[in-house]
Amino acid sequence: MNETTPRPAVDADEPAVRVRDVSKTYGGEDGVTAVDGVSLTVERGSVVGLLGPNGAGKTTLMKSILGVVVPDEGTVELFGQDGASLGRDRYRYVSAMLEGARNIYWRMSLRENVRYFTGLQGIAPGSVREANTELISRLGMSEKLDEPVKEFSRGQKQRASLACVLAQRTPITFLDEPTLGLDVQAGRALQRELRDLASDEDRTVLLSSHDMDVVEELCDRVIVLDDGSVIAADTVAALTDVFDSQTYELALSGLPERDDRRALADRFESVSWDGEDARATVTVASGERLYDLMDALREADVVVESMNTAERDLEAAFVQVTSDTDQKEVTEAV
């Protein structure tokens, strides 16, 4: 590749990102703590999902790694180098698309934007013209190449921003809600592009999203934040397996009396009732507990007519871990 400046040095023995005890409070000592002593690592060439409810500290953590926000405490390393000491060179390692921000210039065309952001990385735009054209095509934006971005729909602006970020070819890419406003086809194109980036180009992607299907499909690991702290960090499969409970959907001959329903809900981990269809959904920690529930239903003169197992998924694990206010232990050393 003919580039006007060399790409940044990358130490293969170091993780792409290492965060050590980073904290950030807005508004002084009595203000709001957005990030509270977070430590984590992101290995090179991986796609890592950053999850958490609104206000959990995801965006502040991302901005702290990017250098847009200066942490009150802690350090950030990029491939073993202290981010603060890198100065402006930090942005040869990282690029980002942040939700709600104007990441590109709306008065310029998509072609002009892509050329501009490619050039910012010291890459001669002509040397990657074919690759950028292919990237834009995969994102479904070829017909909009020479139109000003201000005339794009919300979803088209999102795809244009993605094209500009991915065209910068930095070793680390941050994406905050990348599928927001995308239709199904564009979302699938994005997933393919991100997976190719990680596997073929050894690039590292850290993404924040409320789209659990995208996270589950793409991510090698997931880091869950709540109240500014890391409360879980593991692979998607391991995170869902941490919660050894299983959800069952039961079709019943009728519903127990109200007092019996309350007693059953208190006795078992989680039971909800559908009065219209005479159904119950129960989450139990073991098959033995399920049999206990079925015995209790028979005692309440209710017959279980059929039973289906509901698949455990990342969304269920996420809801469970963030809804447990006492769950503050990390599932894996980060």
Q: Percentage of residues in the chain with pLDDT exceeding 70?
A: 85
Question: pLDDT tens for residues 204-227?
Answer: 999 998 777 788 888 889 998 888
pLDDT at 332: 40
Q: How high is the pLDDT of residue 334?
A: 40
Phi, psi of 330 (to 5 degrees): -75, 135
| Measured CA distances, 141 to 15, 96, 133 (Å) | 34, 20, 9
Superfamily for domain range 17-236: P-loop containing nucleotide triphosphate hydrolases (3.40.50.300)
Q: Given a cut of 50, is residue 154 above it in pLDDT?
A: yes
pTM of the predicted model, to two decimals?
0.72
Neighbours of 129 (CB within 10 A): 14
Report CA Rg, the chain.
24
In the chain, domain spans: 17-236, 244-311
Q: 325: which residues sit within 8 A by CB, 6+ positions away?
A: none
Res 242: pLDDT: 52
For residue 231, give every residue at least 6 positions away whose Cβ sits within 8 Å of its Cβ, in sequence order, or none.
224, 225, 321, 322, 327, 328, 329, 330
At how many degrees (to 10) do helices 287-299 and 258-267 cross? 160
Q: What CATH number matches the domain at 244-311, 3.40.50.880, 2.60.120.10, 3.30.70.100, 3.40.50.10260?
A: 3.30.70.100
65-90 tens-digit pLDDT: 999 999 999 999 999 999 999 998 99
- The predicted pLDDT at position 333 comes to 36
Please write the tens of the pLDDT for every residue from 18-61.
Answer: 999 999 999 877 889 999 999 999 999 899 999 888 888 999 99
Query: Where residue 320 falls among pLDDT bands split at 50, 70, 90?
Result: low
Q: pLDDT for 249-284, tens place per residue? A: 788 888 888 888 888 888 876 777 787 777 777 766
**Banded model confidence at residue 184, pLDDT cuts 50, 70, 90:** confident
In the prediction, which pLDDT does 321 show?
A: 65
Percent above pLDDT 90 for the chain: 40
